Structure 1
């Protein structure tokens, strides 16, 4: 082995020790989260309803229904998940935390409510993002381990890549008929090779979701630095000094009606209605329910209802489109069930790599100890042994 590869092996091994446990937890929780929508749809009846011909009630009706049930609540986000799904209100309960309230979008009747922290998949998501540590700490622990993992995957490919073309075909398959240590070795190397490209994509999209500098770097790279990031993504603010022309109806209703008219093909709508901030009221129309890419958005003055800014999907830069795909790529739903299965398998393989790698290291360590404790035979001993085996008179 060359000095260069010895250095790579040292880095690969010890970086694996440093990040292995975190990588295992993050990959396993990511694997579980991949099919969270499908699992919850199968488990919970409140996630479905029958489509009505009457059409959606306006967001103000949803807010009024939640306010009646929870007088102290402020409705920060309002979701219309689809014509055969309930609407949802993300209600801020003050000291009591947040409550997700599900309503029939045709009648505004509350059908279910729950605290996010009591949902199994929300807990899985928080483990995946923060290891249940405080977000300011957990995001850096997970992010740092993710960066280390990318380095490990790249060094692993360099170390494993066969020199001779004749060995490559053999190196791409698992020898199931071999001893268990050989099978473990192949599981680590062969599966690691096949999962590397997907794993790196999942890692980079995760970093982009967690860290603004990574997201911005992807944005600039995709746009070749030709688009002003701040100008494209900065949200406008309502002018609190100009309240003379107050809207005659709730601005959230104006925003929702405008979005439905201008994005009629959208299956899902999200309205941002945080009264505690000076930002405008925003509404986004999403092409597919439960998917967060391919969105067209609008921002309205929260006092007058005046349209302040548009984010038309077709006019967005390549970098912004790519950043908005981060979540869908990260959970594997960007291409439907096929990419979900690919993301699931890649995450499962990534969770297995620290285990199979540790077993390989443990096996080599035992071999080294055994070799050191085994007594060496000298040349004279071997000659004496051969001499004693010679028959007299031979």
Structure 2
């Protein structure tokens, strides 16, 4: 082995020891989360409703239902998930945190309530993001481990890549008929190779979700050569809190929802956000696919007079903003539908297996090394003993 590869092996091995447990936890939780929508749809009845040709209730009506049942709650987000899906109000209940209030969007009947900390998949998501630690601590532990994992994948690729062309075919396949240690070795190397490109994409998109500087770097990279400033395109406008007298003739959340539906009539999902701050705006997002967050258009409104403050039409967004807003869908594998979900699932499963198969390889080599050392010592002792006998 060349000195360069010895350095690569040292880095690969010890960085694996450092990050292995976190990589396993993050990968296996990511694997579980991939099909969370499909699993919840199959398990929970409240996630589907019948429309019967009725129109949606306005956001103000859903807010009124939420306030009637939970007077102290502040309904900050209103979701319309789709024609055959419920609406939900995400309300801030103060010291008890947020609560999801699911309703029939055509009748206003409450069908289900839950706090995020009681939903299994949200717990899985928190483990994935923060290891159930305080967010500021857990995010850094996960982030550093993911960066280390990316280095491990690259060093592993360098170590594995066959020198001779004649060896490449054999190196790209798993020898299932071999001994179990050989199969484990192939599982680590071959599956690791096939998962590398997807794993790096998932890692970068995850880092972009967790850390704004990474997201901003992706934005700037995609906008190279364009005179576009991140702050100008992304910063949300403010309502004029000094002109509260100019109240609109109807609830601004209803104005925002109607405008979003008019401008994006083919959208399946809508999100209305009522920023509770005095200068906060009311935003309406329109999403082409239900439960998908890419390719969206957005609209911001003054919360006092209903005036449109800013429009984020999808076709007018910069390539950087479009790519940045795809991060979540890319990361969970839903960007291309069920096919990319399966790919993300398998890649995450492979990533979860790599620390285990790698540890088994290291353990086997360690035992083999000890065995060889023991045989050498026995041979030396035997020869020395014979010489002593001959002398005597």
Contact 1:75 1:274 in 2 (8 A): no
Deviation (angstroms), 1:244: 3.0
Shift of 1:345: 0.3
1:260 aligns with 2:268: no
Between the aligned partners of 1:22 and 1:295, the Cα distance in structure 2 is: 33
Q: Is the 8 A contact 1:46 1:86 kept in 2?
A: yes
Partner of 1:326: 327
The aligned counterpart of 1:79 is 79
Q: Which SS does the other structure have where 2:174 is aligned?
A: coil
TM-score (norm 1): 0.95
1:19 is matched with 19
Structure 1 position 95, deviation (Å): 1.5
Structure 1 unaligned spans of 5+? 385-394
Q: Distance in 1 between matches of 2:34 and 2:206?
A: 13
Asked if 1:284 corresponds to 2:285, the answer is yes
Shift of 1:66: 0.3
2:240 is matched with which residue? 239
- Aligned residue number for residue 155 of structure 1: 155
1:98 positional shift:
1.3
CA distance in 2, matches of 1:245, 1:278: 14
The alpha-carbon deviation at position 276 of structure 1 amounts to 3.0
TM-aligned CA deviation for residue 225 of structure 1:
5.4
SS at match of 1:282: strand
Q: Secondary structure at the match of 2:242?
A: coil
Counterpart of 1:102?
Answer: 102
Q: Report the 3-state secondary structure (helix = DSSP H, G, I; strand = E; otherwise coil) of the residue aligned with 1:270.
A: strand
Question: 1:44 — aligned with what?
Answer: 44
User: In the TM superposition, what is the alpha-carbon distance from 1:242 to its structure 2 partner?
Assistant: 1.8
Aligned residue in 1 for 2:313: 312
Q: For residue 351 of structure 1, what is the aligned residue in structure 2?
A: 352
Corresponding residue of 1:374: 375
Residues 11-33 of structure 1 show CA distances to partners (whole Å, capped at 9, x for unaligned) of 00000000000000000000000
What are the equivalent positions in structure 2 for 1:135-214 lying under 5 Å apart?
135-214=135-214
Alignment of structure 1 residues 330-345 onto 2, 5 Å: 330-345=331-346
Q: Superposition RMSD on alpha carbons, in Å? A: 1.3
CA distance in 1, matches of 2:217, 2:8: 27
CA contact (8 A) 2:241 2:278 kept: no
Measure, in 1, the Cα distance between the counterparts of 2:54 and 2:109: 15
Q: Deviations over 1:77-133 (max 9, x none)?
A: 000000100001001111222110001111111111111100100100000000000
- Whole-angstrom distance in 1 between the partners of 2:271 and 2:119: 21
Structure 2 stretches of 5 or more lacking a match? Answer: 387-392
* CA shift for structure 1 position 362: 0.3
- The Cα of 1:245 is off from its aligned counterpart by 1.8
The separation in 2 between residues aligned to 1:205 and 1:91, in whole angstroms, is 29
SS in structure 1 at match of 2:243: coil
- Partners of 2:253 and 2:136 lie apart in 1 by 32
Distance 1:210 1:308 in 2: 28
Secondary structure, counterpart of 1:344 in structure 2:
helix
* 2:274 match: 273
Aligned to 1:118: 118
1:144-174 superposed Cα distances (whole Å, 9 cap, x missing partner) = 0000000000000000000001100100000
Q: Which residue of 2 aligns with 1:392?
A: none
What's the secondary structure of 1:205's corresponding residue? helix
Q: Distance in 1 between matches of 2:119 and 2:285?
A: 25
